Structure formats: C-alpha cells, structure tokens
Structure 1
C-alpha cells in the first residue's frame, strides 16, 4: 500500500506499515514541537544509520546569506556548547562508526552509521550539533579557508565544472541555478551574523526530520530523540505543525526561455560536454517513465549512448544521461568526455540519439531491459541501512508518500514504450543548452 505522509499527526502515536518482503516495519511519529521521526526496523541488523534532515538547501538562501547552508554543514562539526570538534570526532571513532553530512539544493542531512548498541550516542551527538552549534567566530574563519579549498578542488575537475555550469545555464536566475557550495566570492563575503541568522531561522523543530533504519526500535528512538533535543534547549511542548513541504507547482521563474551555448577553457587533455534542458520536477507523475528513458538512453553499458559513442565508435570512455528533480522544476542532460578534436562529432551523436528516441521510441527489448535494470537496482540499493534511512528522509521531505518496494516495482513495470517516446519528444523539444569545458582556442 502507498503510505501518504500527512503534515499533522492523525491521533495515533505513530503510523505503521510493513514494507517489502523482509519483514521490515516502518513507523512515523510527529512530536508536539513539529519534529518528525521515521524509522525502519530491519530484523537481524546489528547496525543502524540515523540521519537528521533539515529542510533547507542552497535554493533557500537569500541575498546576503549565499553560501550559508554549506557553511553550516561544516560548522556543525566544529563544536557545540557541550562538545569540542575533537569530542565529536572521537565519539564516532571510538566505536568504529562513521559520521558525515551532505548539503543539497533543497535539504541538508547529518548522518551516522553505528552499531545498534551505539545508536543512543549517535542520536545524542547529532542532536547536540543540530540544536547547539557554537558557530565560533575563529572556527568560522578557519572553515572559510577550508571551504574555499574545497571549491578550488572542484574547480580543478573539468567534469564538475561542466555539470555546475550546465545547471546554471539551464536554470539561469532561478534559485536552483546557484551552486550548492556557494562561490568563492559568496564564501569570502558572507559574515558570521548572516550564517548565524540562517541557522536560527532554519534549524528549528518544525523543519527537522529524524530518520533511522537498521537495528532500531521506534518507541525507544522517539524517546531518545525527544530527550536529546530537549537537552539541546529545544521546546517540544507546544503543538506546532511541521513546516509544509515545498510546492510541486511548476516554477520556471528565472529559467531562460532559450538555450545557452557556453565554452569554458581549461588546460586539460580531454573535453567535457554536457547537453540538456529543463526536466521534470521531483513529484511529476512521469518520473518513472523518465527513469526508464534514462536507463535506455544512457544508464548502463547496453544503453544507446554507451553503445553508439563508446562501443561502436570508440570516441569516449565515459558517456551517460542523467536527470535531477526538484520542487517545481528539474534538469535532464547528456554527458560525454572525449578528445577535443572530436567534440563536434560527439555533440552531434548525443543530440541525435535523444532525437531518435523522440522520433522512434524504444524497442520492446530495450523497455524490458530498462525495467529489469531499474527493478534490480531498486532492490539491491535497499540492502544497507543507509539507503533505507535516506529513502525515509526523501519520502517525508520531497514526495509526501512512501511506496513499498512492491509498489515502486509496479510503477516501474507500468511504464510503456509510448510513455517513454512521448516524454522523449517533450524533452527533445525544450530549449537546449550546451556546455563544453576543455583546451579550446578562440
């Protein structure tokens, strides 16, 4: 059954659903302060992954705050009112655990994987980081240098540059067109006061989602989260509704109406090409058809791009298609890395394969193979607790529903060749941008 995630509690202490065929139990509780807690108990697991999701990403930054989201991802590990940065690091190293964080365009997640017996410690430490980060001025300046080095490292990777510039070209002045990590200028310029203001506004009970999967007990974990957040100074007594999910209404404000052609010169041996357009939003009903289209066009060794550009012609080592969905808009693109002298030929092949798919559709064999690839990948991807923890967080923050594995497989298998052709036709007709990064002359 499809589990639709409401914005307020329905009178039950937790919603419950048995998902898949492995006996895993998924439950959800909304605390009075608006904190949402979701767990997936996996029988026989001795480890667990817990994540604290905050519904804020780079698209939510405003003038004067650009780069604050990524800054906070770093600074929360630099100490709290109760712990130093070394205390945080030692807590996980001492038990063989792993802790990390990830900033996205629409959310930020702080997560840890530990033995089930060490889960209380992980919850306490991550909750302490979320509620009680010091954001020390000296640490901020130190971390400013670290982030600038991270951005410089990314700028040295021509593939990263091509994808970042592609997103900016397709989405333009839309907030999603900004780089997740900020730019060197925004990181240099953003003051501590702006980062602190960003933290106080977005890191609140009504924006927090805690998800855990593996060897977890739901009621015990809810108690641990409540205790840890309360110890951090958050009030969970007043009935507050969680912050609403992002609108799924189409949002093209600031998105260019024409394609962009951009060439970036780098002294490298290989040229990187990214071609594409706007895609589908995260909740678009056609997202399952897009997954099948992506698999057939550039999702594996049997895909059209791989076979035509690499296997038949030997023009590239890496080529693929990709899609990214967000609230109101998404992107869809094609990538290849090739010799600079072959750029025009490879560009033509990338475009022609998309247009051929739009004109002729896919064969029955391609449809079956793509569905099989996606189905196998879905099931295999849920073999570890980290994937399941992430699935819960995205269901709550992005989709508003949690499909069982069986339902997800049914939706994939329901995609038809006509669905794929119609979507390919739509995507091929959209304004197309081309970004090339390499050792090009004038």
Structure 2
C-alpha cells in the first residue's frame, strides 16, 4: 500500500509539473489516474480463505484485523425443502435453537451471551437457514462453541415447543399487518403455484399447531449435514484458528445420508395473478414480476443492472424530478404513487424480477402504464449513458453494503452456498463493467418482452388493468 501511494503521488507530481510547461491535462488523464487508484484499492482488500474439512463442512473467513468479529453457520436448508405437511418446520427450528441445550439452559445461554457483550441471532429464508454471533475477536472460540452447541445439542423440550407455538402464532399476526410481506408471499404463491417456493416461510397456522419434536429432529437429521454447511467469519479472525475450532466442534457432523440426499424441488413459474380487493384500505399495494434466473446464471448481473436502472423512489426522497430513474421522475411529476422499489430476487435455479408499488386508488392504472413503458424502454431504447450510471450505482451499493463484519460474513456465507466460492470484488467489478446497452436490451427482451408476469395486489385495486388476456399469448405490454 505504501508503494502504491508513492507511485500515485509521483504521478500527481508529474501532472503538476506538466501543467507549467504544457496546456491543462485532459479529463481522460485524471480518469485514468483515478481508475488506477481504485483498482489498487480493490486488489488490496483482505483475501477470503476457504478450507474444506473431511466431513465436507467448509470454513471461509476474511481477516480485516478488527477488534470484533461475526461468525455464523450458513446451512443449505430452508422452507423450499419442506412439504405441505411440515411447512414451517425450518422456521420453528430456528426459534427452538435458543431454548436450551444439553449443556446450557435457556437462562444460561442468554446470560453467557450477555456477559460476553455479544449478540446471537438467526433467520430462515426459502433456501437457507443462518445462525450467527457477533462478539469481540478474543471471544471467537466461545462464539463458535455456542453455535456448535445450539445446532447439535438442542434439547427441543416439549414444554419449550408448546411455548414457542404461541410466539410463532403471534409473529404470524404481526407479519399479516406488514402489507409488503403479505404481498410478496402472495406473489410467490401465484408465481410458483403448487410448488415449494409458493409456500410461506412461517407455514400455515394449522401446521404450527401440529409440529412436534419428531418433525424437528427429522428436519435436523435430514438436512444438517457437513457438505451443506458453511462456517463463515469476518472481522478480527484467524483462519487457522477457525479451522481448528471447526474440526473440534463440527468434526463429528455426519457426511452421508441414510438414504438418498434430498433433491432441490423443481419450482416452475406461472404467469398469473392474485387479487385481494379491499376498498376500505387507503392505499393499493401491488407487486408485479417476471421470471428471472438463479444466482449462478450469466444473466444475473445484467438483470441486476436493469433493476438498478428502474431504481426506487419514495415521497420522502429529495431530488424528485432530478433523479436519474425515469420512473421516479414520472412518479414525482404525476404524483403516481407513494413509493416504489424494483427487486431482483434470486434462488438457486429461478428468480423474480419486478416492481413493488404503493399507490392511491386513482393512480393505479397510470402507475402500471408507466411501469410497462419503462420496462419496454429497457428492451428497446436504453442508452449507454444510462447504463454507465446504473453500473456505477450498482457497484457503489454493493460496496456500501459490505460495511462491517456482519454484512461481509453474510456475503461470504451466502456466496459459498450459491457459488461454492467467494467472488472477488475486482472480478465482480469486471463483470459489471462488461455490460453495455446492447447487453441490457438483449437480456431484458429475453425475460420481459412478451412474457406473462405474476401479479399480487391488495387493497383498493378496482383500476388495476385486467391481464387475464395474457394467457392467450397477447403481448401484455401493448395493452
């Protein structure tokens, strides 16, 4: 780093000397220097080290020399691996992980975490289950030991299970008040009808009332295997120390399955819609999406850039008509909605690319019209300058997201499960830079043009256009 700084200072000094003898240097020269400096910074980021144990468990870490660290277990198991009978088991198991082990009661566990000044948390998604701890770097061994204890030695007591039923049922009631969560659950239900991705993560109420200890034990023994688990850490962590801890605490995790390994359930996309009309609600909440691609597909990065081109907007934003997103300009000028946000949700082999909006009843039709116009412009008339701006914004957002040990640890764990490696920042930047306007047009035409979308809408949606005709093959963007 010191040598790079010297080279940069030498280059800057040379430029200043040249200015005395020659005309003002061009902006291209300044951009060249800035690009070199940015490249040097990216190449100097800490390395992500990866080691696989004999039982298949992978250990991945990034040592940034901080006094704190985040360490967690990323498990390739979520609600997608459930069936109609046990839907909700993965999330139920997440709750039970902190309710006591053979070594620690719930009180002992909570006191130990509090006395360490640490944080212990978990979450369940449709394809992954995560348990992680944030602590001082010196407490890394204790944090790893606690994580090992809660996933391998949980007592899953009957009394605790009965108590958690009520907790989860109350959580489900709270989720039902969050209309964005409700709409996205409806969107998955209609987009992936009669498949595992169409079911909710929390599961239906009747399942929560009947899940028992045997269901939880079966889920653990079926999915918590070495090859499907990543121990990830970031912050002040030594990779060699983490390997020793992993061997000691996770070395006995089973590798093989009693029968065949559970296969990833096939989830096919269906262009369809679900409407829950309630004219008493003040605002309409609508999500519209087309089928996209999985994490490792080559078109993922272009779709991320296209997603950035559409952008997001809220009435509380400054800028208004001066924002780069054309849809944001239209929404601000025409008072078309209260907010909108584009999304690109990826799974292993499929995804959803679309827009979520919150509108007043009288502006629903206009907002849908301008959304379709902007999607069409991605297929036909997006410019190089717009794509360049979106690429810069995407890279900035990605780097800002990696601010702190916890998001870095999460990025490591997720990428190890999705790609079986951590993509270096300079490679990711190169893949984004390789995209141009032609790429965006080709990819968006492939996934948006003449494709039947999935739509979920809740609220006063009388003005929502009727898209049933798309099933006859009519190009829905032209309606």
TM range, smaller chain: 0.7 to 0.9
Q: What is the aligned partner in structure 2 of residue 297 from structure 1?
A: 310
Q: Tell me the TM-score normalized by structure 1.
A: 0.87
Q: Tell me the TM-score normalized by structure 2.
A: 0.80
Deviation at 1:22, TM superposition (A): 3.7
Counterparts of 1:107-256 in structure 2, within 5 Å, are 107-229=128-250, 234=252, 253-256=267-270
Equivalent-residue separation in structure 2 for 1:264 and 1:226 (angstroms): 55
Match of 2:440 among 399, 409, 420: 420
The answer (yes or no) to whether the contact 2:87–2:202 under 8 Å persists in 1 is no
Q: What is the aligned partner in structure 2 of residue 27 from structure 1?
A: 49
Q: What is the aligned partner in structure 1 of residue 453 from structure 2?
A: 432
Higher share in helix: 2
Between 1:311-320 and 1:145-154, the stretch displaced more is: 311-320
Q: What is the aligned partner in structure 2 of residue 401 from structure 1?
A: 421
Match of 1:279 among 286, 292, 304: 292
Gaps of 5+ in 2: 1-39, 314-322, 464-479
Question: Which has the higher relative contact order, 1 or 2, with Cα contacts under 8 A spaced 6 or more apart?
Answer: 1
Q: 1:244 to 1:294 in 2, by over 3 A?
A: farther
Q: What is the aligned partner in structure 2 of residue 8 from structure 1?
A: none
Q: 1:207 to 1:408 in 2, by over 3 A?
A: same
Match of 2:401 among 349, 356, 381: 381
Computed over aligned residues only, the root mean square deviation of the Cα atoms, in angstroms, reads: 2.5
Q: Specify the SS of the correspondent of 2:355.
A: strand
Q: 1:244 to 1:368 in 2, by over 3 A?
A: farther
Deviations 1:299-348 (A, max 9, x none): 56532322221x22122221121111112211111111011222222222
Match of 2:328 among 300, 303, 306: 306
Gaps of 5+ in 1: 1-17
Q: What is the aligned partner in structure 1 of residue 58 from structure 2?
A: 36
Equivalent-residue separation in structure 2 for 1:101 and 1:188 (angstroms): 22
The answer (yes or no) to whether the contact 1:35–1:206 under 8 Å persists in 2 is yes
Equivalent-residue separation in structure 1 for 2:55 and 2:279 (angstroms): 51
Equivalent-residue separation in structure 1 for 2:325 and 2:209 (angstroms): 43
Deviation at 1:49, TM superposition (A): 0.6
Equivalent-residue separation in structure 1 for 2:79 and 2:246 (angstroms): 26
Equivalent-residue separation in structure 2 for 1:126 and 1:253 (angstroms): 32
Q: What is the aligned partner in structure 2 of residue 104 from structure 1?
A: 125
